[in-house]
Chains A and B, each alone.
Chain A
């Protein structure tokens, strides 16, 4: 019963946190792309557009849910929710932090501790294609159908190099359980190089292959052929509006979060810090204080009259959060969380950065990269890793 209660509490924390993250990743994406393109992005709803996601949610909820004629009603209705379901269930096996003690209860930070965790993620990634394929097919629109077909072909092709790339760190860690994979990456080589699979496991090639496949699996630029605007209107979700449209977007961003979390757990050492263990809690604290200081400075600056109230308030909140990391009791809980979420946030920023930088591939290029480049490279990487593990041990 204790287990059930603790799991329910964790679920009640993680699910709203995930949904809020999805909403604010959209805001961050719009802001980052805007600044890359020398615009300011959302600015009017709340300070610096911070309430824009809420305004968007209200708009999408109250918009007319238009159903075009000739659609297959059941599948048209099912497709977006199916896609969203397979996207959000992946969060269940992500380990956010080590086993900690909160109010005398020992628990691990993360929902489920499956010993087939990675296969669960791969299975869900494979199932996720149904949402898109069905949406394209049931919409009774030739552009949507083409988008759905492209998406299924693309996802099947990129799943192969992705699974092969993921197999290499599993060989090193000798487990499919994401928590155990992270545990084997603790410690430092030569006293200062973190023992991550990326560094001491020599998985840099595998990491690059996995990230490229991650872009393709989430239908992000430069692999967003299923929703290529100049060819297919909006691709598989051309005919969707209101909350169903929002469901597709939430699924896409949720898949991004999961791809980044898996990359963090398998290659970037999960919650293990990049700095020496002794100063591990100090780095996030100082990071927050520096951020708070910057906010205070800009808030007081006479050139920014619009921010003179909001910036100091946010600065004070961030400064207070910084003290959490050095506080006894709470520090050991939030420091691993900071490192894990920080790495995920950096990878998410990388996704957005790529979107602001690269153009889209042509369809034949997309297939060529998967089968003629990524697949052989991932296979060679797996063979080399297997040889290394056999010769030098783990």
Chain B
């Protein structure tokens, strides 16, 4: 059952990712990205990380992508046209992509210790309580630094918007 679900949503995620890159229309690309994020959320649930899955749904597909779609609709961006391709990309594009795939596969297989397979259902500490506890004890410094970073970004955005208004 776990394997069937994993394969289904992994395939959906990959197909949506390809569709995001290949679609001509910005709205279609954005929707494909939402498909990727939702299937990733399902994969998180399968791994036992329920809170991360819910956060993925609420934050990425619920809030950030709505803003993306909002901006695309506001600008009323139409379908993009294919211009002449860059010469380098035409010859080296696909070989470089394959090379990159091979390299990342090699890195991942070497980075994980041999004989230690991760099974679905092995991991259970993915509830909100456990995640919150870890965030505010072991990872409290990165957590606070990230919030300050976001605060700086907000202040910058307000400053830029104010200058436009003046």
In residues 103-136 of chain A, which contact B (Cβ within 8 Å)? 114-116, 119-120, 122-127, 129-130, 133-134, 136
Nearest CB of chain A from residue B154's CB, rounded to whole Å: 13
B66 at the interface (CB under 8 A from A): yes
Nearest CB of chain A from residue B23's CB, rounded to whole Å: 11
A156 at the interface (CB under 8 A from B): yes
Among the 9-residue stretches A63-71, A145-153, A260-268, the one with 4 or more Cβ atoms under 8 Å from chain B is A145-153
B27 at the interface (CB under 8 A from A): yes
B57 is contacted by which of A114, A123, A133, A153 (Cβ under 8 Å)? A123
Among the 9-residue stretches B67-75, B95-103, B158-166, the one with 4 or more Cβ atoms under 8 Å from chain A is B67-75
B14 at the interface (CB under 8 A from A): no
How far, in whole Å, are A72 and B27 apart by their CA atoms in the complex? 11
A122 is contacted by which of B31, B58, B74 (Cβ under 8 Å)? B58
A176 at the interface (CB under 8 A from B): yes
Q: A133-B73, A149-B73 are in contact. Are A119 and B58 (CB under 8 A)?
A: yes
Write the chain B residue with the least CB distance to A148: B73
Q: A133-B73, A148-B73 are in contact. Are A126 and B66 (CB under 8 A)?
A: yes
What's the tally of chain A residues with a CB closer than 8 Å to chain B? 28
A119: B residues at CB distance < 8 A: 51, 54-55, 57-58, 128
How far, in whole Å, are A277 and B109 apart by their CA atoms in the complex? 61
Across chains A and B, the number of contacting residue pairs, with CB separation under 8 Å, is 76
How far, in whole Å, are A119 and B57 apart by their CA atoms in the complex? 9
Nearest CB of chain B from residue A145's CB, rounded to whole Å: 7
Q: A123-B62, A127-B57, A130-B34 are in contact. Are A116 and B70 (CB under 8 A)?
A: no
B74: A residues at CB distance < 8 A: 149
User: A156–B73 contact, CB under 8 A?
Assistant: no
User: B70–A127 contact, CB under 8 A?
Assistant: no
A124: B residues at CB distance < 8 A: 57
User: A116–B63 contact, CB under 8 A?
Assistant: no
A115 is contacted by which of B31, B50, B58, B76 (Cβ under 8 Å)? B50
User: B66–A129 contact, CB under 8 A?
Assistant: yes
How far, in whole Å, are A159 and B70 apart by their CA atoms in the complex? 16
Write the chain A residue with the least CB distance to B61: A127
How far, in whole Å, are A129 and B66 apart by their CA atoms in the complex? 8
User: A152–B50 contact, CB under 8 A?
Assistant: no
User: A126–B63 contact, CB under 8 A?
Assistant: yes
Q: Kindly list 20 other residue pairs between chains A and B, CB separation below 8 angstroms, not including A134-B27, A159-B62.
A: A75-B27, A75-B31, A116-B127, A119-B57, A122-B62, A123-B57, A123-B61, A125-B62, A126-B57, A126-B61, A127-B57, A129-B62, A133-B70, A145-B73, A152-B69, A152-B70, A152-B73, A155-B66, A156-B66, A176-B128
Pick 9 A–B contacts, CB within 8 A, sort by A. Answer: A115-B50, A116-B53, A122-B54, A124-B57, A127-B57, A127-B62, A137-B69, A137-B73, A149-B74
Q: Which of B's residues lie within 8 Å of A, judged by CB? A: 27, 31, 34, 50-51, 53-55, 57-58, 61-63, 66-67, 69-70, 73-74, 76, 127-128
Q: Which of A's residues lie within 8 Å of B, judged by CB? A: 72, 75, 114-116, 119-120, 122-127, 129-130, 133-134, 136-137, 145, 148-149, 152-153, 155-156, 159, 176
